Amino acid sequence: MGVALPSQVPRRWFRHAILLAIFALLLFYLCAWSLSALSGCGSEAQSCIPKGLLPLQIQQQSGTLEAPEREEPQCLGPQGMLSRMMKPFHASLNPQGDVELSQYLAGWRELIRFLTPFGSIFAFATSEAFSKVKDLEAQVHGPDAAHYTSLVGMVAWERRAGLLERPGIAPQDSARSSGSRTMLLLHRALRWSQLCLHRVATGSRGGPDAGEQCSDAYNTALGPHHAWLVRQAAHLAFLAFPGRGRLLELACPGSREAEARAALARAAGTLEDVYNRTQGLLAERGLLQLA
């Protein structure tokens, strides 16, 4: 892809920018190794894929996924990858309309484990989340843990204690960020993951490929908050994005395409439920511009 440059930009600056973009892209590939340590996955994607799965017959009619009342694919079973991710995220939505932080973070750990075999672009998108999950966990289990059980409780406590940053002003030490700011950064990354997985699940044959759809999702959810060089590195990485068939195979191994699409759409729906509730709570408290 080309990048239009103003005529007054020196060629030497452009060469330096390209070198920096390539260097940033290499860093994103290194993030994949760190994410493997968190997820428990090795460098080979197959090491995280359960074997011996039984396919089901799920029909796709008029763009709508319909599944008969039969045994679910193993990826949605108790030990399935999608099920392990969906369960804690669903549990984070408590009946009082709040978000339980410990369950939310447990869901994020499973999401990272799930995305790691998909390739380095997912490592890029979740690299920020990798450190943010650990930062927020330190507060959830730290000396003020009683104030970090839920999103609403955390925001109220940090506001009373004067811990919230001013909107748009990042702390000099990211390790000293408020829990609310860290939650907002995770929230944005969750949106990208949800949009990408949903579009992989529902995209039509002959339409935009998975890489183009997930790149558009990046432009919507994360791109506006990243620097120019980071955006260019991300766009380069999307050129090597796996095809839809490969992504569906990794998401629900051993299943037919329509079955894998239905399972991935359900998982994306769970992420959307969590995103929508978190979005509403942050918006009500004026925190969407905190970072």
Mean pLDDT of the chain: 78
Domain ranges of the chain: 11-284
Quote the CA–CA distance of 39 and 81 in Å, as a whole number: 12
Give 66's strand partners: 59
pTM of the model: 0.75
The string of pLDDT tens digits covering residues 185-218 is 999 999 999 999 999 999 887 778 888 888 888 8
pLDDT less than 50: residues of the chain: 1-68
- Residue 209: what pLDDT? 83
| Superfamily in which the 11-284 domain is placed by CATH | Glycolipid transfer protein (1.10.3520.10)
Task: 160-167: list long-range contacts, CB under 8 Å, 24+ apart.
Answer: 164/287, 164/290, 165/290, 165/291, 167/289, 167/290
Using DSSP, how many helices (H) and how many strands (E) does the chain show?
Answer: 10, 2
> Which one-letter DSSP state was computed for residue 62?
T
